[in-house]
A and B are shown apart, each in its own frame.
Chain A
Amino acid sequence: MNNPEVFYLFGVAAVLILIAGLYSIIMTNNLVRVLIGVEILIKAVTVLIIVAGHFANRMALAQVIVISVIVIEVVVTAVAAGVILGLFKHEKSLSVRIVENLKG
């Protein structure tokens, strides 16, 4: 399975998942859906790191980098969820528009 054709196939799949995440972030009006779009983006990056590690025969390094990505992902999700809840307490809405009206 370690040939350029398979690597290309996985790369195309990662790009398509990346497009889905980006489209979700751009088009949605809901803050939770924006966060889900970010998660989808991170999934695409994770797939690409693992496939690149497999292709380059550096699987151990790829696993370590993926673990770092997962740790950062969970912290980002937790903090963003806290921010979303804080905004909902103040504004009673999950709309992206409320972020545009913030000070600064």
Chain B
Amino acid sequence: MNGDFQLAIAVILLICLGLSALWTVMTRRLIYAVAGLAVTSAFVTILMFTMEAPLAGAFELSVCAGLIPAIFLSVISMVRKHTSQTLRAQALEQIRRFWLLPVIIVAVGIVLLLTRLPTPVAPAPLAPENAKKVLWNARSADLLGQITILLAGAFAVVVLLKGPRDE
């Protein structure tokens, strides 16, 4: 592919990513925020695939765009419903709190693009590595950590969601 074409795709993806993140943060309903989070994860996945990271992209799509929104939806479904009045008050409160965010983001973006902070020099290209080999050989301690964290998380969720003991 042409370099300019790739750059154009990357810029479009970055703009979509920023807008979906902004929508996630600013929208008034929690359900819309969760949907925005899933869309943001989908854009991150596309970015990963364009940057030749298919393994991480598959993880991002299945876990961050699938499992995590499901967890959020289950939490939202277990909490109290809003009435139309509280919803309207919440929307006004949301606008009052978040109107400044797009202004800050645009201002910081313009300042960062104009000041052009120093970037590191790209190192010399290495021989291509296989992600699975790196995971199983060079970073095998990470796997142990991940398994431990998963078990600890499962244990914590079971303890937290356990109902009151019958006396």
Contact in complex: B121, A4 (CB < 8 Å): yes
With A67-B56, A86-B160 as contacts: A1 and B3 at CB distance below 8 Å = yes
Residues of chain A in range 1-24 having any CB-CB distance to chain B below 8 Å:
1-4, 6-13, 15-17, 19-21, 23-24
- The reply on A98 being an interface residue by CB < 8 A is no
Q: Determine the main DSSP class of A at the interface with B.
A: helix
Measured CB to CB, the residues of B under 8 A from A are: 3, 6-7, 10-11, 14, 17-18, 21-22, 24-25, 30, 33-34, 37, 40-41, 44, 47-48, 51-53, 55-56, 59-60, 63-64, 67-68, 71-72, 74-76, 78-80, 93, 97-98, 101, 104-105, 108-109, 112-113, 116-117, 119-126, 128-131, 133-135, 138-139, 142, 145-146, 149-150, 152-153, 156-157, 160-161
A-to-B contact residues, CB < 8 Å: 1-4, 6-13, 15-17, 19-21, 23-24, 27-30, 32-33, 35-37, 39-40, 43-44, 46-47, 50-51, 53-64, 66-68, 70-79, 81-86, 88, 92, 94
